[in-house]
Amino acid sequence: MTQMESTPQEAGKIVGEDLRTFALREHRSLWSDAWRRLLASPTGRIGMAIVAFFVVATLLTHFFWEYNPATDLDYSLKLKAPNLTATEEVPSIHPFGTDKLGRDILRRVAHGGWNSLRVGLVAVGISLLVGGLLGLVAGFYETMPLDQTARMMLYVLIGLLLGGLVAWVAGQIIQVVAFVLLGGIAAYFSDLWTGQPRRLALFGGAGLLIGAVPALFTSLAMALVCGLLGLAIGLTLGLSLRGPVVSTIIMRTMDVILAFPGILLAIAIVAMLGPGLDKGMIAIGFVGIPVYARLVRSSVLAVMQEEYVVAGLAVGVGQRRILFRHVVPNTLSPIIVQSTMGLASAILWAGALGFLGLGAIPPEPEWGAMLGDSYRYLTTGAWWAVVFPGLAIMLSVLGFNLLGDGLRDALDPRLRA
Amino acid sequence: MTRYIVRRLITLLPTLLGVTIVIFLFLRLIPGDPAVAMLGEHAATENVERIREQLGLNRPLFLDREALEEGDFTGFFDTQYVRYVGRLLRGDLGSSIHRRIPIAETLKARFPATVELALVSIIIGAIVGVLAGIISAARRNSPIDTTTMLGSLAGVSIPVYWLGLMVIMLFAVMLQWLPAGGRLDPAIELETRTNLFLIDAVVSGNMEALVDALKHLALPALVLATHPMSIIARMTRSSMLEVLQEDYIRTAQAKGLRERAVLLRHALKNAFLPVITIIGLQTGTLLAGAILTETIFSWPGIGKWVYDAILARDYPIVQGGTLLIAFIFVFANLVVDVSYAFLDPRIHYE
């Protein structure tokens, strides 16, 4: 049956649909709209093409092109220039040339992609998960009062951490248990004498006793120190802590991390953990945490000002529902854009660590490490050993940056330049 | 205004305290004993112990709970961290473990090298970046605009370490126009006073040294400038585009002002605040030591110094250098924040 011979029924349906699209604008979700805009933008298209190329090539290479870096070694082919036809001197074909151990650079660049992209993905995953969560909590409670559960968690956490310090100093496990309990009590009876001096006196006194009495069994000096610490904890628990306190603690911690230039911090972490790709992922991921925390916090703060959130709160929608139904979905677009660009910088940094000899452990192929391996041979004219791994880094980074640019335009038309 | 600055400085204190804790903790967590590093692998145990005691490494890290158990109250605080902060407050950064040279002395020689490289780079980056951004915005969607924007995207995507190697290969190895590393030819004598070689050479009227220092500076400065240049160009362009849509721009054009006057006097002035922010932040980043660029070009600045020290486990250098870097970074951000109020009369800090 050809297309022309359609039944009257089908023909009617087609006409009906035409009419509907004519009369009403077809329903499109935010995401399908963004997808159309992404496809329409040249930067987005080029970025997607490059990223797709790297992802597909890397997956194909990893699963279908066997490579064992441990046995890849042939000194007779040391530092041969790229060739496309076999000669007597170089019987095999190496489009990208060979490196100092006679290894085919094309092959190692292709296999290095698996490592470089993986580092990028895992590192961004770590930053996004930890930083995003911290930013969400900070932004949300900066505007919302703590509810009973959140307050309980906060106070118990304070009791656990600060009480843990006292318990460690005194060498007595009982203290941490007591302070956690005190935290729980302070949270449960948060309405008791709120804001009055007698509340402070009550909890301060309790903290003083918990700190000092068990410590008396060790020495007087111990009791003094633990008593003072206990008093401080008690007073903290006696204050009615509000949401902004949580936010301040989180963001000040982020400021400390941000006070170090990223690459220096990453090097320090790898120096602490020891070299290796997995350590590099952790280091780069850790360094990125404050970036996402700040981004998510500021987007959450912006969303919390929106009318739909205010309206939701006004009609008595619960905090959790506001958070997950209204706030989280509306902070997604900046997060997606930042993560894409974050992938680009994570790949750059992974390469930097590898270049400095702190990333992949040889002979594992990784772009940065390949550069670090070969740059000493530049003076002998072996440019190919440095050019191709570097090109791979640059192109993949460019791809993610272009895609991120396109995504930003697509997801937030207001930001369009 | 003064009150705002004072308040900002006070809120910096916890951050800076946190920075000292992080630096201290990191170094103690890095595997390897500095006493062993000093004496070598085969040193006698009692010698290692003696050095550990000299350096205070036998003390607990933060708090000495055992001293307190014995009723010793001052011993409780007599720990590595407290001693470290105490030395810092007295301005004592310690000495290098391997070379026994005081950190402060090396800093005096090394920091100007980083400052020189950073300032020249940011000047190149700012001039080229701002110009490219203005032209791009004025000729929106023209081939010039597209080229500039693609170039700036490539600029943020290019690995600095790779670009450095490429320019060394091209200009130092193949063309042999410029030196591949260092700050000054060892054969040239220069009386150093500020350790900023360009200024020293001009002050002492030593033309030969000036030319040689400039030649040594050219490649690393260009490489280091690439990234800030691209970011500045993008920021200038988007900020200009926003301002160019304003009514007063149309008014200025309508009354027949020349294009250059509209762009520079009306648009740029109002578009400059975010650009200044970016330039300030990038200057902070560059001053904090360009570890990769300095390593590739054997530039004797603080970035390379700290990196070498991390690998050599020279604790005091890492501590002193990292602390300086972090302080510069934090204060640069503060200066950027405060400068807003000077540059934009609409912003007032109570």
Residue type, A12: G
- Chain B residues within an 8 Å CB radius of A222: 68-69, 71
Closest CA to B1 of B277, B347, B276: B347
- Chain B residues in contact with A405 (beta carbon < 8 A): 153
Q: Return the closest-CA partner of residue B266 out of B251, B282, B278, B281.
A: B251
Q: Output the average pLDDT for chain A.
A: 80
- What's residue A23's pLDDT? 53
> So what's the ipTM on this one?
0.80
Residue A378 pLDDT more than 80?
Answer: no
- A295-307 pLDDT tens trace: 898 888 888 888 8
User: What are the chain A neighbours of B71 within 8 Å (beta carbons)?
Assistant: 219-222
DSSP A9-51: HHHHHHHHHHHHHHHSPPP--HHHHHHHHHHHSHHHHHHHHHH
How many residues belong to chain A? 417
Stretches where chain B sits below pLDDT 70 are 31-32, 37, 68-69, 71, 73, 288-289, 345-350
Report CB contact under 8 Å: B322, A260: yes
Whether the model pTM is above 0.90: no
pLDDT at A27 over 90: no
Angle B92-B35-B292 from CA coordinates, rounded to 5°: 70
CA A113/CA A45 separation, integer angstroms: 21
A209 vs B: CB within 8 A: no
Question: Which residues from A are below 8 Å from B29, CB to CB?
Answer: 272
Measured CA to CA, the distance from residue A308 to residue A314 in angstroms comes to 10
Which of B15, B65, B68 is opposite residue A259, by nearest beta carbon? B15
pLDDT tens figures, B217-276:
889 999 999 999 999 999 899 888 888 888 888 888 888 888 888 888 888 888 888 888
Quick one: pLDDT band at residue A15, thresholds 50, 70, 90?
low
DSSP B133-179: HHHHHHTTTSHHHHHHHHHHHHHHHS-HHHHHHHHIIIIIIIS--S-
| B326/A259 Cβ within 8 A | yes
- A222/B contact by beta carbon, under 8 A: yes
The C-alpha atoms of residue A290 and residue A396 are separated, in whole angstroms, by 24
CA-nearest of A161, A152, A158 to A187 is A152
Q: Domains, chain B, ranges and CATH?
A: 104-343 (1.10.3720.10)
- Rounded to an integer, the average pLDDT of A42-53 is 88
Note whether A222 contacts B157, CB cutoff 8 Å.
no
Note the pLDDT of residue A24: 57
CB neighbour class for A47 (10 Å; exposed up to 12, middle 13-18, buried from 19): buried
- Would you place residue A417 in the very low, low, confident or very high pLDDT band (cuts 50, 70, 90)? very low
| Cross-chain Cβ contact B154/A259 below 8 Å | no
| CB contacts, 8 Å: B166 with chain A | 386-387, 390
Q: Do B166 and A219 touch (CB under 8 A)?
A: no
Average pLDDT value for residue range A93-113: 77
Q: How far is A165 from chain B (nearest CA, A)?
A: 10
- The whole-number average pLDDT for the span A261-268 is 83
Best residue in A220, A249, A252, A255 to probe B by mutation, most B CBs within 10 Å? A255
Residues A151-165 pLDDT 10s: 888 888 888 888 788
Split at pLDDT 50, 70, 90, the class of A25 is low
Q: What is the DSSP string of B84-100?
A: HHHHHHTT---B-TTT-
Across the interface, whether the CB atoms of A169 and B158 are under 8 A apart is answered no
- Dihedral angle sign, alpha carbons of residues A159, A162, A164, A168: negative
Q: Given pLDDT bands bounded at 50, 70 and 90, which one contains residue A1?
A: very low
Pick the range with the lowest mean pLDDT from A1-5, A147-151, A338-342, B290-294: A1-5
- Letter string b/e over residues B132-151, b meaning 16 or more CB atoms within 10 A of that residue's CB: bbbbbbbeeeeeebeebbee
A389 or A74, which is more confident: A389
Q: Is the pLDDT of residue A393 over 80?
A: yes
pLDDT at position A399 is 92
pLDDT attached to residue A11 = 54
Mean pLDDT of A222-237: 81
How far is the C-alpha of A228 from the C-alpha of B59, rounded, in Å?
24
Going by C-beta distance under 8 Å and a sequence separation of 6 or more, which residues neighbour residue A258?
Answer: A290
Residue A73 CB coordination number (10 Å): 12
The answer to whether A136 and A210 have CB atoms below 8 angstroms apart is no
- When pLDDT is averaged across residues A42-55 and rounded to a whole number, the result is 88
For an interface test with A, give the residue of B165, B237, B240 to mutate (most A CBs within 10 A).
B165
Closest Cα to residue A129, out of A293, A344, A336, A279? A293
Residue range A177-218, pLDDT digits in tens: 878 888 888 778 777 777 777 877 778 888 877 877 777 777
